[in-house]
Amino acid sequence: MITKTVDVESQISLTELLSLLDKDTEIVLMEGSTMRARVVPCASSSKRRTLGLHRGAIWTSDDFDEPLPEKFCMGEA
């Protein structure tokens, strides 16, 4: 991976910073001799997500949206 170093005091815009970023490049933001952040490209998902793959694995009770009892909010329950 190629590393490009940018001084945070250089007033580079976010658009310019992102234009330096390639799939094989990371950008290190430096303040003087101190590394402040590392910007790396996101890995794109090559697989399509399958809807309904875990159907029935999670359930929500019918009263999920109802207000909590006062005793619960006061820490008594």
Burial of 15 (0-12, 13-18, 19+ CB in 10 A): exposed
Count structural domains, the chain: 1
Residue 55 pLDDT > 80:
yes
Residue 14, domain extent: 1-42
Q: Is 48 among the domain residues?
A: no
Do the domain assignments include residue 12? yes
Mean pLDDT of 41-66: 87
Does some domain include residue 37?
yes
| pTM as predicted | 0.53
Instruction: Examine residue 64 and state whether it is found in any structural domain, yes or no.
Output: no
Residue identified by tokens 């309904």 is 52
Task: Give 3-47 pLDDT, tens digit per residue.
Answer: 989 998 888 888 888 888 887 889 999 999 999 999 998 877 778
